[in-house]
Amino acid sequence: MEHEITVAPGVRLWAEERGDPRAPALLLVMGANASGLTWPEALLDALARRHRVVRYDHRDTGRSTWSFDEDPYPLTALAADAVRVLDALGIDRAHMVGMSLGGTLTQLLLLDHPERVATATLVGTTPLDGGPADGPGIAPELLALWETMLEPRDRDAELAWRVRHWRVLNGGESPFDAEEFRRREERIMAHAGRHENPAAHARADQGGLDRAGELAAVTTPVLVVDSPADPVAGTASARHLATLLGNARLVTVPGLGHALPEAIAPRLAEVILDHTTTPGGG
């Protein structure tokens, strides 16, 4: 079932839910500049066997309103959007799974709206303090690619750029199926009705994110997924994040990078469901 949800004046978000509407709700919060269709279908189907699963497009992605150039917003607005999605769907409390920036937003929700979060799962997520000072940092190849993010490209060139981007994000420990990600990005372009990437979230104000000192007070059960091949937020970042949180455990998914191929879906679904369906969140 699809929905169109108003979250602010002139701003509407596309959302979709699947699974038993009577089951415990689970909200998927995707990363920066990424449509909700970025989540692997196999992962959604596996989670929907136990949950009412909701995914949505952030502002300036997919079928949601694209308005950043006319009306810029801070990244913290995306956390408020997640709460408004729950409100619109009549969900008082949900398990939340955040990927990358989605995990950053989920950290904010743990601090500001703990009553809305049953459990949290953080995947490929940088801590609110940016990560350990002695960590490896973001891979240079990825930083070089990001420097070209805002360059104008036609549809074919944009598609090729996105597939190359996913190849780098995948890391070097698991096979990369370029055709799988090409097909996924073609679906995302068709879903959005456009191919441009405004990189709105890369340009948005990051004020209000430096709140790592508050994470120790979090009592909500949190699962931090260690993605050892991740060129953005690898093992050092995951371990650091787990130590900052007041009620967290760490699970490693071997071979996982910062991309979510269909092949990783069964193992990722297993660790998420173990967390969301175990009393006390594991």
Q: Could you give the residue numbers annotated as active site?
A: 100, 230, 258
Question: Which one-letter DSSP state was computed for residue 100?
Answer: T
Locate 15 and state its tokens. 């959302």
Instruction: State the burial class of residue 13 (Cβ atoms within 10 Å of its Cβ: 0-12, 13-18, 19+).
Output: buried
Beta strands in 9-125 (DSSP E): 11-18, 25-29, 52-56, 94-99, 117-123
Within 13 Å and on the Cβ side, how many CA atoms surround 28?
27
The dihedral built from the CA positions of residue 81, 85, 90 and 91, taken in this order, carries a sign that is: negative
Q: What is d(CA 270, CA 133) in angstroms, rounded to the nearest whole number?
A: 32
